[in-house]
Structure 1
Amino acid sequence: MRNFASILLILTGISLSLYGQDSHALFIKNDGQWSSDFNYRLRLNSGDVFFEDNGYTISLHNADDFHHHHDEPGPKSKQEELLKRHVVKVKFLYANPFPQIQGAAKRSFYHNYLLGNDPSQWRASVPVYQQLNYLDLYPGVNVRFRGKGGNLKYDFHLAPHADPRLLQMQYQGADMLSINKGHLLIQTSLGTLQEFIPEAYQVIKGQKINIPCSYTLVNHIVKFKLGPYNPEHELIIDPELVFSSFSGSSIDNWGFTATFDHEGNLYAGGITFGLGYPTSPGAYQEIYKGGDVDMSISKFSALGDTLLYSTYVGGTDNDVPHSLVVDDDNQLFILGNTGSSNYPVSGQALQANFNGGPPLALRFMRFNHGSDIVVTKLSADGTKVMASTFLGGTENDGLNTGIFQNYGDNCRGEIIYADNKVYLISNTRSNHIPLPNALNDSIQGDQDALVVCLQNDLSSIVWGTYFGGLGDDAGYSIKPDQGNKVVIGGATRSNDIDISPQAHTPNAQGSIDGYLAVFNRLNGNLTASTYVGTSDQDQAFLIDIDKFNNLYVLGQTEGQMTMSAGIYGTPNSRQFIKKFDMNLATEIWSTTIGSGQAKDDLVPTAFLVDECFNIYLSGWNGQSNVLTNGGPPQGNTLNLPLTSDALQSSTDGSDFYFMVLERDAKSLAYATYFGGTSNEHVDGGTSRFDPHGTIYQAVCAGCSLESFPVTPGVVSETNNSNNCNLGAIKLDFEATVRAKPEIDFMNDTDTICDTLFVQLSNKSINAQVFEWDFGNGLTSSEEEPTTFYDNFGTYTIRLIATDTICDIADTNFIEVVHDTGIFLESGFTSEYIGCDSEFRALFTNTSTGSQAYQWDFGDGDFSQETEPEHLFQDTGLYIVSLTAINVKCNKSETFVDTLVFQDTSSIPDPLVEVSLCGDGSVDIALDNDRRRYRYSWDFGNGVTEEKRYPSYRYQEPGVYTVSVDINDTV
């Protein structure tokens, strides 16, 4: 097995802190997604700035009021739940009440706001900008806002002769304003804002000329005092507002879930915090109600260098994504939970109304009106809700509050797509949710797992069931097999769940056991089930199925799991992997993995068994689990096994960990840590491996300004929030067969005449047999063959790479465009004067790709010179052709042009006189004669003659009329 080939690491910056998606401030246009009366919004590290017609409003808050919800265990006192806020309004006095406000430096991506259950209020493709301009705020005065170094930068641009005395800014809501050493200090209950000493300057003849400038302050009204300047030129006044004295960011974006599509794009789901538009200036407190969290869904390109969209989904209360999956059309399904009665649902929704439940408090948020499961389907561009529904009863649904051993276990569950249907597993405390074909149509204990198969449009349930017993039961994972079955896994405190007679373990073993159950996915009939566990606590977190329909489960144990002979493992470890047959009657093998120190090493987040039976897993542990969940103090990632080619061989004990076991767990193929100095974790949800073994992992990263490793050139290389950002990891382990044809067009192609010769490179991995189809009628089984193309055109090369050990194959394509032959071209230009009496022409040869030439001048003469000079015989039109010949390739091309020599003299003037000899003969003279003229004379007595100068003598005296017919033969 080779090392991984590529790694993609992104700090998404979806928190929309000052630097939002990347290293630039983002001014978000209010297209109606926010009902309040402002035009643009800028989310800052310590609050928000709302831009109105006549000024802007700065809404600040104490970031620590948010941080403790994420970092500290245990219940909070009433006093601790107060959020401290302070609002400062800046009004431009006596300004244009309706200036033109325009975003500038538009970003390539967009935001979608699918908020609330009124589709008319949803907004898609909302533009975001790096700059905001107020035009004609005062006569001849524009204002430009932008971000700089984490601060709000703005400057006034005054046209020639504009009056700077018009600029007046009134500050409302500040505790005190003062000027200290030239700086404007704006004191609030949360800290002091500082505006740097303003800079004023003019640019005259390319030179920057600084102008003395200072603040003046009277009754909370700020003006600018300027020194002498040239009123004939533009004047710029350039202050800077600094927020750096504030402690942190509430605009966190926590990482929950990730998935992929068929093009290798990465979808990351999390929650984004943000407070609403303030209604009055000054300091105040409000009780944190937990209604400031929406789902944030971001789609990144396969290389991570482009943000394709960000979509915000939710209502007026908290909304959390647990699991993501795409269908065949790259439409994204979201499984989550909501406390919002106005969560967006579609017209054909299975359940259009929010049922909610009793108030519910988790360690990091509250659901004041209870919680329902939600399932939402987004369009491929993230701009539309294609389908969406609530799912739940009158108690709380979608949250695991009965069994949670790890931080994030509250938000476990999974959604999958198969057979054009949607399958999900989640958790419920509600009784009598309508479930057709149910094994159990009512809840068995306080909390049960809920298994549901939905139609693609989320309009109805095909089948569904409660699964559980008299104790608490939790549903974590669901997978389809190669046939018509679907398997679920989870944890249970019940000793009476539905267990099949042939079960490997028919009875509960400890206080908490894992379980596995197999259903017919056509009708929901239970076909097999078993407990999984020891006499201690055990949970079955993630499951997968191989191509022969064997079932694998990854979980945690506090007991002593069996270890099969010949299988890789580490004794005395607290993570287990088991392999069962689909009847759950036979345990094929079992092992434990980890540090061997009887401590919780990993909280599982993703799991895969590929077509070659390699086993992949992802997990994390550390201080976020210990402190936030009150977990065992020894829970960490220390001392886990690594391979020599590990991407990261050290850990601070709070990192992610990736492992690959080779072919049916025979050996350790690859293992590495991944993380920085922060406590990397997820706040819930699932991530995924694609079928090739590439991990798409969501991470809550960079918290408290600690580090998180990223790769160059991605959407955001920095955490621009002062707390957490959703990090996204795409890591290719290259453990399965991968067809990868390549062509080095600079070095591996050659063109001879019109034939393109191509040397193929083969970068495939884990393959032994190759089948090439070059698209030109030729094929090859060589590893790196050569082919050729005689005719111009576009050709598709197909490579099928086969792993004969695993009997699996992969296919890939590469395109060749042949348009670079010799391009033989014939051509010439001619230089001549049409009225030249010598009829001389000079020819310049413009042919390319040729070595020999044949000229035909159209007058019966020929030449093989490269650039001949030719004398034509007379006036007239001549068709000249040049045939250019490529001797090497025996190829020729002909070019034709026309030359015209014209006679500019008068027509011939014949003169006929009687000869002085007196014998009846006549004398004939011709003026303007030309050789090409032919003459036909008629002497008026019936005698004609066709000569230029005929000799004629009249026999009889008389008067005769002589005529001549002149024919220009050219």
Structure 2
Amino acid sequence: MRRSLNSSILLLAAGLLLAPGVSGLAGGAAGSPPPAPAMARARIADGFGKMPLYFIENRGQIDPRVAYYVAGRDKTIYFTERGLTLALHGPEAAASGRWALQLEFVGARAVRPTGLDPTGATFSYFKGSRQEWQTGLGSYAQVVYRDLWPGIDLSYEGTVDTMKYTFRVKPGADPGQIRLAWRGADSLALNAAGELAVATPAGGFHDGRPVSWQEVEGRQVEVATKYRLAGDSYGFELAGYDRRRELVIDPAVLVYAGFLGSSASDLGNGVAVDAAGHAYVTGASFNAADFPVTAGPDLTANGGNDAFVAKVSADGTALLYAGFLGGSGTDEGRGIAVDGAGNAYVGGRTGSNETTFPVTVGPDLTFNSSLSFLPDAFVAKVSPDGTSLEYCGYIGGSSGDEGRAIAVDGAGNAYLAGSTTSDQTSFPVAVGPDLTYNGGFADGFVAKVNAAGTALDYAGYVGGDGTGHLFSNGDHATGIAVDGAGNAYLTGRTDSSQSSFPVTVGPDLTFNGDYDAFVAKVHADGTAFVYAGFIGGAARDEGLAITVDGAGNAYAVGFAQSDASTFPVKDGPDRTLSGRGDAYVAKVNAAGTGFVYAGYVGGAGFEVANGVAVDGAGN
């Protein structure tokens, strides 16, 4: 079976690897840990084949010509009275970034499809002002066009891997009426296997060889069938069959149409897990509202992403809800956490101003960037059922700002970590831990949002002047956790030397070269660092995720390219660098003065650790 050559339809995917910001309940806080995000990813991957397609009902959120749609990052499929429209996103789509294909039902009646088999999954669109939101939209596992041609029904359904279509020809009806035409395709051809190959500038896909059958005395009797081409249209050529009985024509369409990706590696930017094992995913999705008017290059697409948050069942077989947050610009969820009540907290970046982004209560309701292409960080809280946005607001200044990871404590306060190029004259610094922008390409930042979402309890920088590297890449906070006392733990990367980076106590007070990972603990009141130090060697090393146990020991992971001659290996799982780069894991003692252990995890290739969890025994 072959899939689309260049694109995958991903409703909820934004990257090839699970990115920094992976967190569990309370963002890695101490206490009884939920299942690890990596385990949740594995469960979702195992359940992919059982997850249906979700045909979302249009209740006014998109073009009224559309009755239902399957929306994703790489393809969006719209179902109208006259046929299907596929919006193909991808690097080869066109200069506009999108290519539109239309499947026309030639000679058919105008039939608005009907949704069948409600999935229970709801979809919400938090876009623009509250009055414009569309929440709790239903979805279906199948759509059907009834009597599209006289006596012939057409239905669409599928799973994460395929979307298939089925014709049901009633007794006495003529299957020769069926005619389908692809508008906007480069070519339509049959291959040696009898499959229908559709080629477009955005890649190609295949419809499998058609299979037809009738039910006779309780058993299926196959009817020999093949495609019949005529220019850019096609129908079916059938052998003899009993016209007194219903005929089913059942091609297998290999257009990849899944919501969460084709594998565990396509799960977006962040995953959190609640105590019941439900997985919460965030990332970015193309804006489904851009319905292409014509076939070919789609010049009407605005190219923007929406951030999303989605909840998946504990066994990975069902989507429970999906919500989209966005405006007129490009918006992306980067980190996610969940509290004990099932509220989801999302942090990320947005290029949408307050006239189109769904700011509500927020810590800041005004977009701060001086240039449209420079984003603000944002923080948002989504209700347990996914249908309400409890708060949403900006964190940023006049330059570029990005939320990378988020955690939440037992009282519902959210902690956001990220990076900024905005100095203290515009960035909302308050209390600490550092109120002055340090220079270089960027500083990391940490901010605490109160439980109501109305204000920042503190916000400050984490960084130096970038002089540790000839070409500064800046300081970036990419992982965050919080303990039961409200202390925040950070990790990330820095190219600032100890002369400007706020090293204090440890575990390593000396910059080691190129860029280093760092680990830092911020006092519960946000006024200062309890400790801050480097993790690294002479080459490139980066921290990506962190968690903390009940005793206050911190566990940081990421990747290292420094070998054991300079990297601080100690009693680790592996004390030898095995390839071009290895994942690493390091445990920092509660005082922050040193490593309990540090070592590599990897082989001959390049390995990256993007998430970490710890159980009650410290494993």
Structure 2 residues not aligned, in runs of 5+:
1-32, 467-471
Q: 2:405 aligned with 1:378, yes or no?
A: no
Task: Determine if contact 2:210/2:250 at 8 Å carries over to the other structure.
Answer: yes
Alpha-carbon offset, residue 389 of structure 1? 0.9
Which residue type is aligned with residue 401 of structure 2?
Answer: D
Q: 2:57 aligned with 1:30, yes or no?
A: yes
Which residue type is aligned with residue 391 of structure 2?
Answer: A
Q: 2:546 aligned with 1:607, yes or no?
A: yes
Task: Determine if contact 1:255/1:271 at 8 Å carries over to the other structure.
Answer: yes
Q: Distance in 2 between matches of 1:196 and 1:278?
A: 27
State the match for 1:792 in structure 2: none
State the match for 1:279 in structure 2: 292
State the match for 1:872 in structure 2: none
State the match for 1:460 in structure 2: 455
Counterparts in 2 of 1:640-679, with a 5 A limit? Answer: 656-658=583-585, 673=601
Alpha-carbon offset, residue 50 of structure 1? 1.9
Q: Distance in 1 between matches of 2:567 and 2:144?
A: 52
* Deviation readout 1:535-569 (Å, 9 max, x if unpaired): 8567563334899x994546334xxxxxxxxxxxx
Pick the aligned partner of 2:535 from 556, 562, 573. Answer: 556
Task: Determine if contact 1:179/1:185 at 8 Å carries over to the other structure.
Answer: yes
State the match for 1:513 in structure 2: 501
Pick the aligned partner of 1:40 from 55, 68, 72. Answer: 68
Task: Determine if contact 1:26/1:128 at 8 Å carries over to the other structure.
Answer: no
Task: Determine if contact 1:555/1:604 at 8 Å carries over to the other structure.
Answer: no
Q: Distance in 2 between matches of 1:179 and 1:483?
A: 66
Task: Determine if contact 1:425/1:449 at 8 Å carries over to the other structure.
Answer: yes
Normalised TM-score (structure 2): 0.72
Change (3 A) 1:229 1:131: same
Q: Distance in 1 between matches of 2:73 and 2:307?
A: 20
Q: Distance in 1 between matches of 2:435 and 2:566?
A: 42
Counterparts in 2 of 1:775-790, with a 5 A limit? Answer: none
SS in 1 for 2:176: helix
Which residue type is aligned with residue 39 of structure 2?
Answer: L
Change (3 A) 1:488 1:456: same
Q: Distance in 1 between matches of 2:306 and 2:603?
A: 26
Larger Rg: 1
Change (3 A) 1:481 1:45: closer
Q: Distance in 1 between matches of 2:454 and 2:34?
A: 43
Change (3 A) 1:478 1:82: same
State the match for 1:229 in structure 2: 241
Q: Distance in 1 between matches of 2:598 and 2:211?
A: 57
Which residue type is aligned with residue 68 of structure 2?
Answer: Y
Change (3 A) 1:165 1:330: closer
Pick the aligned partner of 1:543 from 514, 520, 523. Answer: 520
Counterparts in 2 of 1:91-102, with a 5 A limit? Answer: 91-102=104-115
Change (3 A) 1:555 1:270: farther
State the match for 1:312 in structure 2: 324
Change (3 A) 1:660 1:46: same
SS in 2 for 1:9: helix
Q: 2:43 aligned with 1:160, yes or no?
A: no
SS in 2 for 1:607: strand
Q: Distance in 1 between matches of 2:230 and 2:464?
A: 73
Pick the aligned partner of 1:50 from 62, 71, 78. Answer: 78
Change (3 A) 1:379 1:184: closer
Pick the aligned partner of 2:391 from 376, 387, 391. Answer: 387
Alpha-carbon offset, residue 337 of structure 1? 1.6
SS in 2 for 1:356: coil
Change (3 A) 1:320 1:151: closer
* Deviation readout 1:139-160 (Å, 9 max, x if unpaired): 3321122337944421211122
Q: Distance in 2 between matches of 1:388 and 1:288?
A: 26
Pick the aligned partner of 1:205 from 188, 205, 217. Answer: 217
SS in 2 for 1:165: helix
Q: Distance in 2 between matches of 1:466 and 1:344?
A: 26
Change (3 A) 1:655 1:176: same
Which residue type is aligned with residue 161 of structure 1?
Answer: G
Q: Distance in 1 between matches of 2:431 and 2:82?
A: 62
Pick the aligned partner of 2:422 from 429, 435, 443. Answer: 429
Query: Identity of paired residues, percent?
Result: 21
Q: Distance in 2 between matches of 1:429 and 1:545?
A: 21
Q: Distance in 2 between matches of 1:241 and 1:301?
A: 27
Deviates more, 1:436-445 or 1:266-275: 436-445
* Deviation readout 1:160-183 (Å, 9 max, x if unpaired): 222323323233223344556665
Which residue type is aligned with residue 39 of structure 1?
Answer: A
Pick the aligned partner of 1:619 from 558, 569, 579. Answer: 558
Task: Determine if contact 2:70/2:76 at 8 Å carries over to the other structure.
Answer: yes
Q: Distance in 1 between matches of 2:322 and 2:607?
A: 25
SS in 2 for 1:336: strand
Q: Distance in 1 between matches of 2:485 and 2:218?
A: 75
Q: Distance in 1 between matches of 2:588 and 2:458?
A: 36
Pick the aligned partner of 1:356 from 335, 345, 369. Answer: 369
Pick the aligned partner of 2:158 from 147, 163, 168. Answer: 147
Counterparts in 2 of 1:690-839, with a 5 A limit? Answer: 693-694=614-615, 734-735=617-618
Q: Distance in 2 between matches of 1:125 and 1:659?
A: 43
Counterparts in 2 of 1:873-952, with a 5 A limit? Answer: none
Task: Determine if contact 2:586/2:598 at 8 Å carries over to the other structure.
Answer: yes
Which residue type is aligned with residue 371 of structure 1?
Answer: P
Q: Distance in 2 between matches of 1:382 and 1:679?
A: 35
Alpha-carbon offset, residue 604 of structure 1? 1.9
Q: Distance in 1 between matches of 2:360 and 2:223?
A: 62
Which residue type is aligned with residue 378 of structure 1?
Answer: V
How many residue pairs were aligned? 564
Q: Distance in 1 between matches of 2:514 and 2:579?
A: 27
More strand, by proportion: 1
Which residue type is aligned with residue 673 of structure 1?
Answer: V
Change (3 A) 1:417 1:203: same
Change (3 A) 1:637 1:260: farther
Change (3 A) 1:118 1:162: farther
Task: Determine if contact 1:421/1:453 at 8 Å carries over to the other structure.
Answer: yes
Alpha-carbon offset, residue 329 of structure 1? 3.3
State the match for 1:930 in structure 2: none
Q: Distance in 2 between matches of 1:14 and 1:344?
A: 30
Give the number of the structure with larger relative contact order, counting CA–CA contacts within 8 Å between residues 6 or more apart.
2
Q: 2:373 aligned with 1:369, yes or no?
A: yes
State the match for 1:240 in structure 2: 252
Structure 1 residues not aligned, in runs of 5+:
67-80, 359-367, 399-410, 495-507, 518-528, 558-573, 575-597, 623-631, 695-732, 737-970
State the match for 2:7 in structure 1: none
Q: Distance in 1 between matches of 2:221 and 2:327?
A: 53
Pick the aligned partner of 1:138 from 127, 131, 149. Answer: 149
Task: Determine if contact 1:350/1:461 at 8 Å carries over to the other structure.
Answer: yes
Q: Distance in 2 between matches of 1:321 and 1:662?
A: 32
Q: Distance in 1 between matches of 2:301 and 2:404?
A: 25
Q: Distance in 1 between matches of 2:153 and 2:577?
A: 54
Alpha-carbon offset, residue 483 of structure 1? 6.5
State the match for 1:396 in structure 2: 400
* Deviation readout 1:425-462 (Å, 9 max, x if unpaired): 54341533566668987857575555544432222345
Pick the aligned partner of 1:173 from 173, 184, 188. Answer: 184
Change (3 A) 1:638 1:189: farther
Task: Determine if contact 1:660/1:669 at 8 Å carries over to the other structure.
Answer: yes
State the match for 1:705 in structure 2: none
